[in-house]
Amino acid sequence: MAPPSEPAAVDASGDQFGQRPFLEAELYRSAPVAERERQVYAPRFWHPVAPLSSLPEGTALALELLDRPLLLTHSPGGPPRAFLNRCPHRGVALLPPAQAAQPCRRLICPYHGWTYDLGGSLRAAAREAEFVDPFAREDWPLIQLACAVRGSMLWVAIGQDPLPLEHQLDLVEQELGPALERPRVLLASLESELACNWKVAHDNTLDDYHVAIAHPNTLHRQQGPVRHYRHRFADHANLLATPVALQGSAADAEAPEFLTFGAPPWIHLLAWPDGRLALISFPPRDPGHCLLHVWLLGDPAQKARGEAWIEELRAFLEEDRALVESAQRGYASGLTPGPAHRLERRILHQQALYARIMGLEPPTPTPSSSPARV
């Protein structure tokens, strides 16, 4: 049997998910399920935490990820690193959470003065000759977490055995190729809280059935007519691709495309032909709330337009807020989800991966769960 993080090969068309019903509503409101997600689901994946351009060499940044205190550092001439933001002596944070990275040469614990370099090695401990037991600095490094750079973002793995990042982003790397790794800087960002389970937000952003109806003047204008949608599915990520600037004419096979990727655990990546990337993440807070993180990345020459572009993203995300928060109330009332539409296959794809990793029994298809054709 394949391990939970390695699903069976996925048909690129996604048709194999056509007979699968949506996840049960209880999974969207249960505290035990939310705790299992933190223990089983989230540790299997990498999590975007900050743009590389926001952590220059010689700086450190403290932040939180799924209630874990994280510390990002970037030694001069070295790679970025991630640690648990706690002194091994008594657990006190070495730096307080901040909105921006701070210049830093040493990390000094405010409790007992243990001093670390940006590589996580203990360099000094106050009155270290007087410890009760023999004391060696090398026995007390900071707890390091796996850290990688992909798409000009810093990704951190909180588990001991995460899925390789290139597998988690399989379709992203296949479609974008070398363009994924062209250097980008942060153009703009936004963060807010949503009153819904993260799965409601993730499902909604994968939902290609609602865009023309719910976002006629925002996202639909970017993605264009449904008849030009191109879908693709890999083992972990999926894709909606739409031609750009059709202006009502027939689709041009050579036209550049606007790409919308969905990937586990709760990640979405938008890619424009001009090289911009937007990374959207919905990390959970509790069964009824999640965070919304959006990072817009691009060429430094695009910086002047960053705020205008992020406002365009905010417009459709606020339209989505009303939908997902309403859907959460519906799920909490005991909803039995209705049939899946063909334009909701990306939801079913991610839900199948979630169910596998969470160890859920595959739901039994029923006639009412067969997808409608478009």
> To which residue do tokens 């995460």 refer?
162
- Residue 346 makes CB contacts below 8 A (sequence gap 6+) with 14, 206, 207, 208, 231, 233, 238, 240, 262
Confidence of residue 371 (pLDDT cuts 50, 70, 90): very low
15-44+178-369: CATH superfamily: Naphthalene 1,2-dioxygenase Alpha Subunit; Chain A, domain 1 (3.90.380.10)
**Tens digit of each residue's pLDDT (9 = 90 or more) over 201-243:** 999 999 999 999 999 999 988 888 999 999 999 999 999 999 9
Are 245 and 254 in contact, with CB atoms under 8 Å apart? no
Q: What percent of the chain has pLDDT over 90?
A: 84
**Tens digit of each residue's pLDDT (9 = 90 or more) over 79-114:** 999 999 999 999 999 999 999 999 999 999 999 999
User: Which pLDDT value is given to residue 255?
Assistant: 82
Look at domain 50-148 and name its CATH class: mainly beta
Q: What are the E-state strand segments in 215-304? A: 230-233, 238-243, 257-263, 267-271, 277-281, 284-286, 289-298
User: Which pLDDT value is given to residue 366?
Assistant: 42
Q: How far is CA 201 from the centre of its chain?
A: 12
Which amino acid is it at 273? P
User: Which pLDDT value is given to residue 3?
Assistant: 43
Q: 288, 286, 310: which is closest to 298 by C-alpha?
A: 310
Tokens of 17: 């998910």
pTM of the model: 0.90
**Tens digit of each residue's pLDDT (9 = 90 or more) over 18-77:** 567 899 999 999 999 999 999 999 999 999 999 999 999 999 999 999 999 999 999 999
Mean pLDDT, all residues of the chain: 91
Q: Does this chain's domain 15-44+178-369 share its CATH topology with 50-148?
A: no
Query: Would you list the domain boundaries of the chain?
Result: 15-44+178-369, 50-148
Above 80 in pLDDT, residue 15?
no
> To which residue do tokens 């691009």 refer?
298
